[in-house]
Amino acid sequence: MEIDAVIRQMTLEEKASLCSGMDFWHTKEVERLGIPSEMLCDGPNGLRKQEDKADHMGINESIQAVCFPTASAVAASFDRKLAGKIGKTLGRECQAEGVSMLLGPGVNIKRSPLCGRNFEYYSEDPYQSSEMAAAYIKGLQSMEVGACIKHFSANNQETRRQSGDSVMDERTLHEIYLASFEQAVKEGKPAGVMCSYNRVNGTFASENKELLTDILRARWGYDGIVVTDWGAVKDRVKGLGAGLDLEMPGGDGSRANDMRIVKAVRDGILPESTLDETVRHILQFIDKYRPGRHPEAVFDREEDYQTALEAAKECGVLLKNECGLLPLAQGTKAAFIGGFIESPRIQGSGSSYIHSARIPSILDCIQGMENVSYAKGFDVASDETDEAALAEAVELAGKCEVAVIFAGLPGRSEAEGADRLHLELPPNQNRLIVAIKAVQPRTIVVLSNGAPVTMPWAAQIPAILEMYLAGDGSSEAAMSLLYGKTNPSGKLAETFPLCLEDTPSFLNFPGEKGRAEYHEGVFVGYRYYDKKKMDVLFPFGHGLSYTTFRYTGCVLSEDHIRDTDRVTVSVTVENTGKRAGKEVVQLYTGQCGSTIRRPVRELKGFEKIELQPGSKKTIQFTLDKSAFAYYETAIHDWYVESGHYEISIGSSSRDIRCKTQLYIEASQPLPIEVSAETSIGDLLGHPKTAAAMQKIFGNLLGKAADEADSGSSSMGEGAGNLMQGAMEMPIGALESFGVLTREQLDTFLDSLRS
């Protein structure tokens, strides 16, 4: 399509009308100019294509499809290739079904485990989240189907999601909440970015120029379309001016907004060139991502089920396994207990809800298995204990060699549109777990939930397998992991806290009167628990295997670099157990003695490797500035302070196996603002002002420092503290102490500024 030529031929009305959809799921066609209508569909963990009645809450039917593990499960795989494969498979499905854009991935940060949509998001860590998202986007778009990363931005709760205000400081916004999008946008280059419903620091995301234009386009170089979340438009003209391209859903509801755009251009409120730019983005999308480019593509539900199953096996996280209770040997006399055995929980509710073609249950899987018996034990639909069912399950467990309980969150407690109120499993399930354990010490709990739950029984239960919401293949994957056909390799991409009260945002989630203040700042997830040296139930990055790994090395290519250089770190990992297995090798960095409040460690690299027993592999991580920087508000950019940095490599954030240190030199000092309020210490410490300060005050300060050191000072034993006080004193105070006159001070400050 000759896009500029097409725009030149369009009337103002045609341009404005292209800025909203034709209906719930389609862009508008302009027949006269050969502009086709394109279909957008929900994902991200499957294709939710609605051919009949449309909605955005997962209420009406969509075509039969395949449900892949949801994002929180995929994140636990820590496997970029897997995320890419899921994306590519979905891309093929979209091509076969005539869909141009799949609405995903969702990369909002898990600020609180209570967020009702956490199952749709990857991680509490922005690096992990953006890496997984970039891989998914690349996979999907390799089939010439657009991805639409969402929900931009700071949409970390469902409470008042359409109107709430997410209030936070600039550093937190960039370092945590935008960072989850930044790399995914830069590297994955998604066709679409979906703006969220909420306000960010007072301005709706859909009309937030700073987010949609200054950051997204100008700083990150984004050139795709910005789509509204469904119904997120407030002031359409303001939104368009801020960088919002396509309003969805279209149809009757958006017609008035199209007319507002026309009027705004006619009235001179909106430059036509801005509208042209929006139209250009939409046409570029229509031109580039089009179904029919892969006529060979078929939606083979059976084949894709197998992909979903393989994916599910990678996602399961073995949280605990005392005395090698797992894997189970075939033929073990086992009591399988729990309502989820008949009705597996495989996904969350809402707009991502997939109408699965086939969902094998655990009950299907154990058909014909010798020595495996089943008792329901509890009803998934209820919180109340069914005494008869409980008694039956306890009796069965007592008669077997092991009990395997399938527990988890019921669908009603994890859904789009509402946050969870607590972290507990239903009381009937907790009670059952304790009762079974009382008669059967060899009890295993298998969990299905999209986000952390508390486990008051964790210390007593020897084995726990977290399956998350692993899609259609959930049951077969769980069986494969339990019986050791697959060696577990998932790791938590979020912390499981001991209790809700421990969580970083506890006092401020979901906020009050529609205002959520992010007082915990950058200390989200493990950044908070580590800084506060708190115990957690299971830490970020944790996950066991049926084999063991030894780490050696942690060797740097250099131990002194400038912030513009790269450094490589290599580590050797050996499978020291008896089974083949996969390990997620995690690299964290932390600054030793920073002047800025920073997390103890931050994930900056991970690699999933497969090793046969006895074999080893050396992995190299290449780190650049982004692995060490924090967001510095004085320059509105990422910055690395000169100093020592620690690099730790391990099997989880709290199972560090080797460490090393390097020195990084900042190539630019931070600017210093010189005024009478600037402290003497800051002026002495800054390369721009240090020499002049030394010249004037060197003698005086040197003498005081010597006296403080030798204890000979007339100031007594606290001389050192007084010295620190002097360093923190604003230079202007020297006038009050008669050291300098006002005129001398002003002249001196002028000389420091020049």
DSSP-derived secondary structure for 559-602: SEEETTS-EEEEEEEEE-SSS-EEEEEEEEEEESS-SS---S-E
Closest CB 205 distance from ligand BGC, rounded Å:
12
Binding ligand BGC (rule: CB under 6 A), the pick from 172, 180, 351, 480 is 351
What is the phi/psi pair of residue 435, to 5°? -65, -40
Task: Answer positive or negative: Cα dihedral of 519, 521, 525, 527.
Answer: negative
**How many beta carbons lie within 10 A of that of residue 181, not counting itself?**
29
- For residues 209 and 167, the answer to whether their CB atoms sit within 8 Å is no
C-alpha torsion angle, residues 247, 39, 7, 273 (rounded to 10)? 20
- Of 163 and 615, which CB lies nearer to ligand BGC in the complex structure? 163
Closest CB 161 distance from ligand BGC, rounded Å:
8
To the query of whether residue 229 is one of the catalytic residues in this protein, the response is: yes
Alpha carbon distance 225, 205 (integer Å): 15
Which residues make Cβ contacts (< 8 Å) with residue 398, sequence separation at least 6?
439, 440
Q: In the structure encoding, which two tokens stand for residue 619, read together? A: 């992995």
Site string for ligand BGC, 172-211 (x = CB under 6 A): ----------------------------------------
What is the phi/psi pair of residue 46, to 5°? 160, 180
Q: Which residue is nearest to ligand BGC (CB)?
A: 56
Q: How many residues bind ligand BGC (CB under 6 A)?
A: 8
Binding ligand BGC (rule: CB under 6 A), the pick from 38, 42, 97, 574 is 42
Which residues make Cβ contacts (< 8 Å) with residue 617, sequence separation at least 6?
572, 573, 609, 611
Closest CB 180 distance from ligand BGC, rounded Å:
15
Alpha carbon distance 86, 68 (integer Å): 8
Matching residue, tokens 């020297």: 734
Strands, sheet with 192-195, edge to edge from the N-terminal-most edge strand: 40-42, 101-103, 146-152, 192-195, 225-228
Which residues make Cβ contacts (< 8 Å) with residue 357, sequence separation at least 6?
64, 65, 66, 301, 305, 472
- Of 56 and 420, which CB lies nearer to ligand BGC in the complex structure? 56
Alpha carbon distance 694, 590 (integer Å): 32
Alpha carbon distance 700, 320 (integer Å): 62
Site string for ligand BGC, 237-256 (x = CB under 6 A): --------------------
Q: Which of 50, 43, 38, 92 is closest to 68 using CA atoms?
A: 43
- For residues 330 and 483, the answer to whether their CB atoms sit within 8 Å is yes
Binding ligand BGC (rule: CB under 6 A), the pick from 80, 138, 150, 238 is 150
Matching residue, tokens 């073609």: 357
Alpha carbon distance 731, 138 (integer Å): 55
Task: Report helix, strand or coil for 211.
Answer: helix
Alpha carbon distance 39, 55 (integer Å): 14
Out of 79, 229, 419, 563, which one is annotated catalytic? Answer: 229
- Of 103 and 403, which CB lies nearer to ligand BGC in the complex structure? 103
Binding ligand BGC (rule: CB under 6 A), the pick from 56, 238, 442, 582 is 56
Matching residue, tokens 């370092």: 175
Closest CB 261 distance from ligand BGC, rounded Å:
22
Site string for ligand BGC, 89-128 (x = CB under 6 A): --------------x-------------------------
How far is residue 431 CA from its own chain's centroid?
33
How far is residue 650 CA from its own chain's centroid?
20
Closest CB 42 distance from ligand BGC, rounded Å:
5
Q: In the structure encoding, which two tokens stand for residue 469, read together? A: 């919401």
Matching residue, tokens 């509402």: 418
- For residues 573 and 587, the answer to whether their CB atoms sit within 8 Å is no
Residue 230 touches ligand BGC, criterion: CB under 6 A: yes
Q: In the structure encoding, which two tokens stand for residue 232, read together? A: 């997120």
Closest CB 162 distance from ligand BGC, rounded Å:
9
Q: Which of residues 471-490 bind ligand BGC (CB under 6 A)?
A: none
Closest CB 79 distance from ligand BGC, rounded Å:
24
Residue 26 touches ligand BGC, criterion: CB under 6 A: no
Closest CB 120 distance from ligand BGC, rounded Å:
8
Closest CB 294 distance from ligand BGC, rounded Å:
24
- Of 230 and 340, which CB lies nearer to ligand BGC in the complex structure? 230
The one-letter code for the residue type at 621 is F
- Of 192 and 473, which CB lies nearer to ligand BGC in the complex structure? 192
Matching residue, tokens 């196996």: 657
CB-neighbour burial class of residue 8 (10 A; exposed 0-12, middle 13-18, buried 19+): exposed
Closest CB 409 distance from ligand BGC, rounded Å:
20
Alpha carbon distance 200, 196 (integer Å): 9
Binding ligand BGC (rule: CB under 6 A), the pick from 97, 158, 207, 229 is 229
Q: Which of residues 535-574 bind ligand BGC (CB under 6 A)?
A: none
- Of 42 and 494, which CB lies nearer to ligand BGC in the complex structure? 42
Residue 166 touches ligand BGC, criterion: CB under 6 A: no
Closest CB 155 distance from ligand BGC, rounded Å:
8
Task: Report helix, strand or coil for 89.
Answer: helix
Closest CB 185 distance from ligand BGC, rounded Å:
17
- Of 99 and 103, which CB lies nearer to ligand BGC in the complex structure? 103
Strand partners, 568: 622
Alpha carbon distance 349, 18 (integer Å): 31
Closest CB 181 distance from ligand BGC, rounded Å:
15
**How many beta carbons lie within 10 A of that of residue 31, not counting itself?**
8
Q: Which of residues 436-455 bind ligand BGC (CB under 6 A)?
A: none
Alpha carbon distance 661, 746 (integer Å): 43
- Of 150 and 345, which CB lies nearer to ligand BGC in the complex structure? 150
Q: In the structure encoding, which two tokens stand for residue 350, read together? A: 């809402």
Task: Report helix, strand or coil for 174.
Answer: helix
* Residues within the interface to ligand BGC (CB under 6 A): 42, 56, 103, 150-151, 229-230, 351
Q: Which residues are catalytic?
A: 229
